[in-house]
């Protein structure tokens, strides 16, 4: 009975680093068996959770440090999020290509049969930057300030608003036809055509465009009806996008967990390696701080604005996860952060004095 | 100093103890309120060792189980002495205030 329980305890001790298990494993198991009494065959859930938690803490080394856990959490979480974002992008590869021009024309004819939409063109990819898929020639733009131009591509066209037509009639007709053809139609969004701060301009008299968003299967549709004003004729524009593919969700979860795990183990390895008097100890800590700033700052900037935008307007399909992390708008930050982290890991790997393990046997 | 740390140092004040011995002593000292789990205890022992307050003493094997003993270092004894004085001062001050609020019956 004791042997079985000891084996189970030893299995839980895999949460501790190997050197720790070698030095202290027998002692820990002895203490656990003493505490367990004679009638137990398996560790309690509380014991198991406690051992795994403290085993992970032991992996970080630096037993006297009160901040190493916080740094580990910051690193693990942001790396998990970034890895999940990459996995999300990979998941998008399972999406169907965008509708071709003819298919888009046919769907627009279902929604507004009396209007003649023009300017519809096939898109080369689901995500484009300046109309082209991301490639070697566009990476420079992506990194150097134009990352925000990398976004979901849509197949769109427009038609003139017929003279003397109330935009509300077009909106009502479109909503009716969309529902009849199986689209889920969301509440309309109204946007001022221009801004003004007060007299002599009356904000209540500003003409507004009406935006309708809808979803059907793996396609989302946006219709914008702009009334005629003093300067421009009224227009109707409609565009189709692909909704987030189902595969994105499990891939993001798996990618996030894998990324967080790898980041934690690398952090723990570097932390244990540089404890004591490692020659690059201070530099490794500085490089980690730089990497965390470069990864977290875009995330902390982007999350509130994306959350507000998502709450403020209906979304048949949410924006891709990387946009919530401020990417690729701040892709240069991300790349520099990766460089800093890799340099830190390389310096941690430098030979130095053996780490001083406080938990080594005396 | 947190209470579990204070209790662990107190448990070692009268001589070296092994891991489970510390757990038992802490339970007694705290009147059963503090029951340390083994993972928690060893993280605390690692920290106190790194801080130079305790150190491993000797090892023995009982019924096939390895037991390593830990003892207070001089620094640990000093830290425990200081913390005890601090707690005593606080306790004395609190008792004085309580006596003023609730005078003992004649």
Question: What is the C-alpha to C-alpha distance for residues A316 and A215, in angstroms, rounded to an integer?
Answer: 5
Q: Which of A63, A69, A360 to mutate to test the interface with B (most CBs of B within 10 A)?
A: A63
**A358 → closest Cβ in B39, B49, B65:** B49
A168 to chain B, any CB pair closer than 8 A? The answer is: no
**B43 → closest Cβ in A33, A54, A361:** A54
Residues A231 and A359 in one domain: no
Q: How far is CA A292 from CA A76, A287, A310, A334, in A?
A: 10, 9, 26, 10
Q: Do A47 and B49 touch (CB under 8 A)?
A: no
Residues A222 and A255 in one domain: no
Of residues A199 and B20, more confidently modeled: B20
The whole-number pLDDT of residue A362 equals 32
Residues A50 and A155 in one domain: no
Residues A55 and A2 in one domain: yes
Give chain B's domains with CATH numbers.
3-99 (1.10.10.10)
The whole-number pLDDT of residue A68 equals 94
Instruction: For residue A48, give the chain B residue with the closest CA.
Output: B39
Choose the final residue of a domain: A9, A38, A59.
A59
- The first and second tokens of residue A333, run together, are 């930050």
Q: Do A55 and B51 touch (CB under 8 A)?
A: no
The domain that contains A213 carries what CATH number? 3.40.1000
Of residues A275 and B75, more confidently modeled: B75
Residues A266 and A295 in one domain: yes
Residues of A in contact with B49 (CB under 8 A): 63, 358-359
Residues of A in contact with B37 (CB under 8 A): 46-47, 50
Residues of B in contact with A359 (CB under 8 A): 46, 49-50
- The first and second tokens of residue A302, run together, are 């982007």
pLDDT at B46 over 80: yes
Residues A121 and A90 in one domain: no
The whole-number pLDDT of residue B106 equals 56
Instruction: For residue B38, give the chain A residue with the closest CA.
Output: A32
User: The complex's ipTM?
Assistant: 0.88
A7 to chain B, any CB pair closer than 8 A? The answer is: no
- Count chain A–chain B contacts defined by CB atoms under 8 A: 77
Choose the final residue of a domain: A219, A242, A265.
A242
Nearest alpha-carbon partner for A101 in A158, A155, A178: A155
Residues A255 and A347 in one domain: yes
The whole-number pLDDT of residue A354 equals 54
Q: Structurally, how many domains does chain A consist of?
A: 3
Residues of A in contact with B79 (CB under 8 A): none
Residues of B in contact with A60 (CB under 8 A): none
pLDDT tens, residue by residue, A161-188:
988 888 899 999 999 999 999 999 999 9
Q: Which of B5, B34, B42 to mutate to test the interface with A (most CBs of A within 10 A)?
A: B42
CA distance A9 to chain B (A): 11
* B102 confidence band (pLDDT: 50, 70, 90): confident
Residues A256 and A309 in one domain: yes
Q: How far apart are the first and last CA of chain B?
A: 38
Instruction: For residue B59, give the chain A residue with the closest CA.
Output: A27
Q: Do A31 and B42 touch (CB under 8 A)?
A: yes
Residues A256 and A343 in one domain: yes
The whole-number pLDDT of residue A358 equals 45
Q: How far is CA A139 from CA A22, A96, A151, A318, in A?
A: 48, 24, 14, 25
**A53 → closest Cβ in B39, B41, B59:** B39
CB atoms within 10 A of CB A359: 21
Of residues B4 and A2, more confidently modeled: B4
Residues 211-230 of A with CB under 8 A from B: none
pLDDT tens digits in sequence order for chain A, 362 residues long: 568 899 999 999 999 999 999 999 999 999 999 998 778 889 999 999 999 999 999 999 999 998 999 999 999 999 999 999 999 999 999 999 999 999 999 999 999 999 999 999 999 999 998 888 888 888 888 888 888 889 899 999 999 998 888 889 999 999 999 999 999 999 999 988 887 776 777 777 788 899 999 999 999 999 999 988 877 888 999 999 999 999 999 999 999 999 999 999 999 999 999 987 888 899 999 999 999 999 999 999 999 999 999 998 888 888 999 999 999 999 999 999 999 999 999 999 988 765 444 444 43
Q: Do A50 and B37 touch (CB under 8 A)?
A: yes
Residues A258 and A237 in one domain: no
- What residue numbers bound the domain in which A102 lies? 97-242
The residue written with tokens 């901040």 in the block is A67
Residues A201 and A257 in one domain: no
CA distance B72 to chain A (A): 13
Q: How far is CA A330 from CA A68, A128, A162, A244, A334, in A?
A: 27, 17, 43, 22, 7
A69 to chain B, any CB pair closer than 8 A? The answer is: no
Choose the final residue of a domain: A242, A258, A277.
A242
DSSP string, A331-353: HHHHHHHHHHHHHHHHHHTS--S
The whole-number pLDDT of residue B104 equals 65
Residues A190 and A225 in one domain: yes
**B19 → closest Cβ in A27, A55, A359:** A27
Helix axes A68-92, A281-312, angle to 10 degrees: 50
């Amino acid at each position: 009975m004791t042997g079985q329980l000891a084996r189970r305890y030893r299995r839980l001790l895999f949460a501790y680093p190997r050197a720790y298990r070698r030095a202290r494993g027998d002692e820990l198991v002895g203490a656990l068996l003493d505490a367990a009494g004679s009638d137990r065959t398996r560790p309690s859930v509380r014991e198991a959770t406690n051992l795994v938690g403290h085993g992970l803490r032991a992996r970080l080394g630096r037993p006297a440090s009160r901040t190493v856990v916080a740094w580990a959490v910051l690193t693990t979480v942001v790396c998990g999020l970034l890895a999940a974002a990459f996995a999300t992008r990979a998941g998008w590869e399972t999406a169907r290509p965008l509708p071709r021009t003819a298919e888009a024309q046919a769907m627009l004819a279902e929604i507004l049969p009396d209007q003649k939409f023009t300017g519809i063109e096939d898109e080369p990819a689901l995500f484009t930057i300046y109309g082209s898929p991301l490639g070697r020639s566009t990476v420079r733009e992506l990194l150097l300030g134009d990352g925000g131009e990398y976004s979901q591509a849509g197949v769109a066209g427009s038609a003139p608003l017929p003279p003397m037509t109330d935009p509300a009639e077009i909106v009502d007709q479109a909503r009716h036809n969309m529902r009849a053809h199986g689209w889920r139609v969301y509440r309309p969004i109204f946007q001022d055509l221009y801004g003004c701060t007060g007299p002599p301009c009356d904000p209540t008299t500003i003409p507004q465009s009406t935006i309708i968003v809808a979803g059907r299967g793996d396609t989302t549709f946006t219709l914008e009806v702009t009334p005629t004003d003093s300067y421009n004729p009224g227009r109707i524009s409609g565009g189709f996008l692909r909704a987030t593919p189902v595969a994105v969700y499990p891939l993001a979860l798996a990618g996030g967990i894998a990324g967080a795990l790898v980041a934690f183990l690398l952090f723990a390895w570097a932390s244990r390696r540089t404890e004591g008097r490692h020659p690059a100890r201070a530099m490794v800590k500085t490089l980690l701080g730089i990497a965390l700033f470069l990864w977290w700052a875009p995330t902390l900037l982007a999350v509130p604005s994306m959350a507000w935008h998502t709450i403020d307007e209906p979304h048949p399909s949410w924006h891709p996860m990387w946009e919530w992390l401020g990417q690729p708008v701040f892709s240069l930050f991300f790349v520099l952060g990766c460089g800093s982290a890799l340099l830190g890991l390389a310096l941690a790997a430098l030979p130095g004095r053996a780490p001083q393990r406080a938990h080594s046997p005396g | 100093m947190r209470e579990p740390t204070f209790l662990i140092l107190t448990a070692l004040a009268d001589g070296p103890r092994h891991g489970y011995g510390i757990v038992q002593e802490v339970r007694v000292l705290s009147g059963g309120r503090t029951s340390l789990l083994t993972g928690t205890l060893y993280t605390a022992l690692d920290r106190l060792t790194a801080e130079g307050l305790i150190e491993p003493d000797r090892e023995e094997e009982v019924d096939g189980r390895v037991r390593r003993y830990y003892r207070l270092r001089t620094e640990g004894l000093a830290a425990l002495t200081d913390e005890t004085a601090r707690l005593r001062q606080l306790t004395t001050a609190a008792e004085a205030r309580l006596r003023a609020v609730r005078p003992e019956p004649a």
